[in-house]
Amino acid sequence: MPKADDLPILRTKLLIPELQYNYVPREALLNALNERNFGDVILICGPAGYGKTILAAEWTRMQSTSAAWLSLEDSDNDGDSFTRYLAAALEQTLKDDQLGVQIQNEITGNNPGNTLHALMVQLINLTTQDDVRVTLVLDNFQFITQERILAEIDFLLNHLPPHLRLFLLTRKEPAFSLSRMRARARLMEIRTEQLAFNFSETSQFLRVSLQRKISDEGLLFAYQKTEGWVLGLQLLPIEYLTKKPEDGKLVQLHNAQVLRAYFLDEVIRPESPEVQEFLFKTSILDKMNAELCEALFAESYSYGWCREMLQILQDHNLFTFPVDEQPGWLRYHPLFGEILRSELFSRYPMESKELLVRASAWFMRQNMLEESVQQILRTEDSELIIAHLEDITIQSLQDGRVLDLMHIIRNIDEATISASPILCLAYAWDLLANYDFETCELWMEKAIVLSHTPEGEAKVAPYKQIYDGIIKMMQAILLSSRGKAEQADGLIQEALDILPQDNYFSRSFAMLHHAVAHAVGGRTEEAIALYRRAIQIAQLSEQWFVQLMGRYQLARTYERIGRFNEAEIELMRSMAIFSRLKGKYTNLECYLYKELAAIHIARNELEDAWEDFQNYLDASPVVKSSPDDVSAHIFLAQFHHANQDPGSAKFELNLAQQLSGMTESLQDDVDVQLAGLEMELQRNVTENAERWFRRQNEEKLETLPIIYRMRARLLHARLLLTQGRRDKDMEKIAQSRGELEELLPNLQKIQYMALQI
C-alpha cells in the first residue's frame, strides 16, 4: 500500500479552520473544555451554523499539544477514504517525532478490510506512551454512517487511551452508544443550548459584523428571532434590525433569499423525501406532539409513525427544540419555521388550508383555545375566522374561560371584531375589565346595533338570553363605576332576571363584576358583601373560576384598605382550591402569589415578599423567564424601593411603563404613574409629581374611577406637605391639611384611610 502522502489527499481538509474577523470568544465554553482531561471524548452536537467548528478550532489553537484535524465530507463515508484521510491527519500531526512513520508501517501490507482497524490499534498504542499527547478532531461527523467505520470508532472509544482526546463535531446524534463514556464520566457534551449566543454575545457579534450602530430594540429583536443561532445572525437581513416584518413575511425581505437557500440546501435537502414532507406540513404548528401530528395527517399515518418522525427531527438536529415544561412537545426555530411555512404554501397550496383547519380542530378538542385561534388566523379566510372566534366566545362564556377569551380577543384586529356582534361584545368586556370605560361603551353600542341587523340577529338568536344579560351586566358596571349605584343595582337585577337560571357561571360572574364595580366606585362594604355572595353562588355550582376570581378580588379589596390578615386568608383559601383543579387556571394561581408578595411588602416583610414573588414566577411558564405583566414590575419596583435601591426601582418602573404602553390599559397607565410618584415622594423627590399634576386638571381626574381619584388627591396633599416642609412654606402645609380634611369623608366611606393616612 502506498504511503498516505502519495495518495490524492485534499490537504485543506486537514487544516484547523481560521477564526473569522467577527468571531466572538466563548469564554465559558472554553473554560469548561480546559477542565477536561486527555482520555475524554467531547461531543459537540447541534444544528448547522451554531459554531461547533469555530468553538473547537478556537480551543485547539490555544493548546500546546498536537492536534489532528479532519473535516469530513459525504465522500468520506467509505472505509478506504476515511482511513486514508485519518492516517494523513495523524501523520501530519506526528511527523516531527517520526511517529507518523510507525502508523504507515503498521498499516502497509494489511488487506483493505483490516487497514482501518490496524490504524486504530496503532493510534491506541501510540497514545498510551507518556510522551505522546494527541487531540483528534473529527468535524462534520454526521456524514459517517457506514457500519464498518462506526464499528471502528466504537472500538476506539472502548479502548480510549489515556493520552488521546477525541472531539466529535456533528449535526446528528452519533449512531453508536456513548452510555459507557457517560457512566465513566469521560464524556463532555456541548449541545445547542450551550452553543447558542446569549444576548451579550449576540450584541457583540452583530456590532462587529455590521460595523454600524444598532439600536437596543433591533438587537433584542434579532436575538429573539434567531435565539442565538450564530449563522442566522450572519444571514439575517439588515431590515430585521430596523423594521419588524409581519409574522411569516421574512421571505419578502431583501437578502432573505440567502437564508432561505441555506435552509433548503444545507438542512432540508439532505433529508429523505418523507422527512421533508413532514417538515413542510408540520411547519404550520407553533408546537407539536405525536398525537397532534397524527390528527394533522388525517390519520394517514399512525401515532407511532409520527412519534418516530419527531424523534428523527431531534436526532438530526433539524432546528427543533423541546417546549419548556411540556414533555413530548417540540417546536421549530422561529426562522426555520418561517421558511418552512413559505415553502409549504408554495408547494402544497391546496392542502395548506385543510392542514390549518385540522390543527385548529385538534386544539379545540384539547381546550387549547389560543393555539386553535392561531391556526385559523393563518388561513386568512375571514368568514372562517369570524365563525371560529364566535364559537370560542360562546364556549368560553359557558365554560368560564373568560381570561382566555380576553387574551384572545385583544389580539384580533378591529376589522374582524367589527363584523360580529358577539365579538364586539367580547371586546367590550375586555375593555371594561381594563377600566377603559369610554371605549368600552363605544364597542358595546356597536354590539347592540349589529345585533339588530338581520345577520347579527341570526348570530345572536341561539344565545339571546346570555347576550342580553351580559349587555345589562356591563351597563350596570359602567353606571356603578360612575357612582350611580341605584341605577346600577336595578340593571344588575335585570341582568340576573334575563340570564338563564341554569347558567351558573354567567350569573355568578355578573355578581362578581358588580362587586368589582362597587369596589372601583368606592363602595367598599357593599363590594365586600357582593364578593361574598358571588363566591357563595359559585361554591354551590362548583364554578371554580368565579370562586378564585372572587376571593382574589376580595383579597385585593382587603389589602387596599389595610386589612392584611383577612386578605391573606382569602388568598390562602384560593391556594387550597388549586389542589383540586389539576393545573387549571395556572395564570391566576401565579397572581395569587404576587398578591401575597404585595401584602408582605406592605408589612415590610421583604424576605417573605421575595419568596412569594419567586413562587409567582415558578407558577406559570408564561412568565417564568421574564414577567410580562405591568403589576409584576410595579411589585419589583416597590421591593427595590423598600430595599433602599432607587436605581433598580426606577428600572422596573420604566419596564412597567413600556408594557403599559403596549397594553393600552388606562388602569395600567394610572397604576404605574401613581406608584412611581408615591415612591418618589417617600424619598422627598417632588419634580416628577409637580410635572404630573401640572398636566392634570380637575376634569381629567374626574374621568378616573373613585379609588384612583382618591389616590391621586392624597398624593397631591402629600406633595404639598413635602414642598412645604422643604421650603418652610406654612401656606402649602396648611393647604395640604385643608385638602386632607376635604378628602376625609370620602376616604372614610371607601375605607382607604387605614393604609394611606
Does 374 score more than 70 pLDDT? yes
On whether the 381-542 domain is CATH 1.25.40, my answer is yes
Look at residue 341 and give its three-state secondary structure.
helix
pLDDT digit string (tens) for 116-131? 898 899 889 888 887 7
Q: Cβ atoms within 10 A of the Cβ of 156, count?
A: 19
What is the C-alpha separation between 335 and 225, in angstroms, rounded?
7
pLDDT digit string (tens) for 306-317? 999 999 999 999
Confidence band (pLDDT; 50, 70, 90) for 679?
confident
Confidence band (pLDDT; 50, 70, 90) for 696?
confident
CA 178 to chain centre: 33
Residue whose cell numbers read 485534499: 10
41: β partners:
166, 187
Summarize the confidence of residues 733-745 as an average pLDDT: 81
Give the residue among 284, 331, 282, 332 at the shortest CA–CA distance from 305: 282
Does 73 score more than 90 pLDDT? yes
Summarize the confidence of residues 184-201 as an average pLDDT: 92
Q: By percentage, how much of the chain surpasses pLDDT 90?
A: 33
Phi and psi at residue 676, in whole multiples of 5°?
-65, -45
Summarize the confidence of residues 655-671 as an average pLDDT: 72
Confidence band (pLDDT; 50, 70, 90) for 239?
low
Summarize the confidence of residues 377-382 as an average pLDDT: 92
* 626-to-95, 594, 622, 623, 662 alpha-carbon distances in Å: 55, 14, 8, 5, 16
Residue whose cell numbers read 409581519: 246
77 contacts 143 by C-beta, under 8 angstroms? yes
Mean pLDDT for the chain overall: 83
Q: What's the whole-model pTM score?
A: 0.69
Does 383 score more than 90 pLDDT? yes
The residue with greater pLDDT, 477 or 237, is 477
- The CATH superfamily holding the domain 4-195 is P-loop containing nucleotide triphosphate hydrolases (3.40.50.300)
What is the C-alpha separation between 751 and 747, in angstroms, rounded?
6
Measured CA angle at 314 (ends 313, 318), to 5 deg: 55
Does 536 score more than 70 pLDDT? yes
Does 286 score more than 80 pLDDT? yes
Does 171 score more than 60 pLDDT? yes
Does 757 score more than 50 pLDDT? no
Confidence band (pLDDT; 50, 70, 90) for 707?
low
What is the structure's pLDDT at 30? Answer: 93
Summarize the confidence of residues 616-636 as an average pLDDT: 63
pLDDT digit string (tens) for 539-549? 877 777 788 88
Confidence band (pLDDT; 50, 70, 90) for 473?
confident
What is the structure's pLDDT at 241? Answer: 62
What is the structure's pLDDT at 371? Answer: 92
Does 625 score more than 90 pLDDT? no
Least confident of 224-238, 361-375, 395-409: 395-409
Summarize the confidence of residues 476-489 as an average pLDDT: 77
Does 251 score more than 60 pLDDT? no
The residue with greater pLDDT, 625 or 568, is 568
Phi and psi at residue 45, in whole multiples of 5°?
-125, 125
Residue whose cell numbers read 418618589: 680
- The angle that helices 706-727 and 666-682 make with each other, rounded to 10 degrees, is 20
394 contacts 464 by C-beta, under 8 angstroms? no
Summarize the confidence of residues 103-113 as an average pLDDT: 55
Summarize the confidence of residues 667-690 as an average pLDDT: 84
544 contacts 534 by C-beta, under 8 angstroms? no
The residue with greater pLDDT, 547 or 458, is 458
Summarize the confidence of residues 100-128 as an average pLDDT: 71
Summarize the confidence of residues 562-587 as an average pLDDT: 77
DSSP 682-708: HTT--HHHHHHHHH--HHHHHTS-HHH
What is the structure's pLDDT at 622? Answer: 45
What is the structure's pLDDT at 704? Answer: 67
DSSP 136-176: EEEESGGG---HHHHHHHHHHHHT--TTEEEEEEESS--SS
The residue with greater pLDDT, 170 or 736, is 170
Does 387 score more than 80 pLDDT? yes
The residue with greater pLDDT, 216 or 156, is 156
